[in-house]
Amino acid sequence: MLEFTKKTILRSLAKGVVLAAATTFSFGQPAFAESPFHTGVWQLNTKDGPRGLVVSDWLVFEDGLPKRWLYRRAGTNDQNQFDFFTRTINDSGYTPVGIRVYRTGEHAMKYTLAPKGEEPFEVTAERLSIPNYKNSCLSVEKKGNRFYRTWNGTASSNLKKMKLSKSRLTVDGDARNVTVEEVRVGRMGIMEDGKPLAFLTDAGGDYAVLQWFKPGVSVEQMRDKEREILDFASEEVVRNPGGDCDRQIASRLKAMK
């Protein structure tokens, strides 16, 4: 598992690494009518100067790509505060660091990282994007049709190109006959011969994550909205080649002071 500690975080911030898009699953609660308040582009005010933070509904990015899933911690959330467990893409369990976002104003929040066994690290943050904008490119709401397209591979995938339709999945020229169903807002379940094959999960922005199941995952597990599958055969980050969100994010980050 990639070490994700306070020292790593501070080192990343010192280098100006942009954290982007944080994934939050509702664990059986109703989907948000709007994206949660932390979704957007932010300026983190660190002792070493301003740093960028980009958060979708569901993932934290590093180096411009989805990197760390956020799982909302039950019983610790209200409209102004969310506590998360985290998991690095392609790891099989939670990372030993928690994240808390606490709204302090319409365009401000506190962002806290809490590595296990260490003192929490907290900074203030100012929003650079419009909160809960109806057509925000970082939101995953009501975008089911966006899955049915051609996707390009990224530095965080082994595949070069994939295409998904309602009856076929093609990866680097290898086509499979499949069925596809929405298992929750922002996530499609893909089955081959009636057996679960993969999730395609909206990562927000221009990205999605193809999550290949290990053998033995049942249809009931695939459809379960209460329990998350954490252990996959592999997870591959793909990008919509016609997407415009990366450009919009870059434009917002230029507004940092």
Q: Where are the domains of the chain?
A: 6-139, 144-239
Residue whose C-alpha is closest to residue 26's, from 241, 225, 229, 247: 225
Q: Report the chain's mean pLDDT, rounded to a whole number.
A: 84
CA gap 226, 203 in Å, rounded: 19
Q: What per-residue confidence (pLDDT) applies to 75?
A: 73
Q: What per-residue confidence (pLDDT) applies to 213?
A: 98
Q: What per-residue confidence (pLDDT) applies to 165?
A: 97
CA gap 95, 92 in Å, rounded: 9
Residue whose C-alpha is closest to residue 67's, from 31, 18, 103, 30: 18
- The structure's pTM equals 0.85
Q: What per-residue confidence (pLDDT) applies to 206?
A: 95
End-to-end Cα distance, the chain: 35
CA quadruple 105, 128, 114, 229: dihedral, nearest 10: 110
Could you give the C-alpha distances from 106 to 56, 156, 172, in angstroms and in order? 17, 34, 45
Could you give the C-alpha distances from 74 to 16, 221, 227, in angstroms and in order? 32, 20, 12
DSSP letters, 94-118, are -EEEEEEEEEEETTEEEEEEEETTS
DSSP H or E stretch at residue 13: helix 6-14
Q: What per-residue confidence (pLDDT) applies to 125?
A: 96
Residue with token string 């591959």? 236
CA gap 52, 19 in Å, rounded: 7
CB atoms within 10 A of CB 143: 14
Q: What per-residue confidence (pLDDT) applies to 37?
A: 84
Say whether domain 6-139 belongs to CATH 2.40.310. Answer: yes
23-25/65-72 β-pairing:
parallel
Token pair belonging to 32: 């948000």
Q: What per-residue confidence (pLDDT) applies to 133?
A: 57
Beta strands in the chain (DSSP E): 19-20, 23-25, 40-46, 49-55, 59-62, 65-72, 81-88, 95-105, 108-115, 121-127, 150-153, 161-164, 168-171, 174-177, 179-184, 187-192, 195-204, 207-212, 234-239
Q: What pLDDT digit, counting tens, does each position of 22-74 carry?
A: 333 443 333 344 678 888 899 999 999 999 998 888 898 888 999 999 898 87
Which regions in the chain score pLDDT beneath 70?
A: 1-34, 76-77, 131-135, 141-144
Q: What per-residue confidence (pLDDT) applies to 171?
A: 98
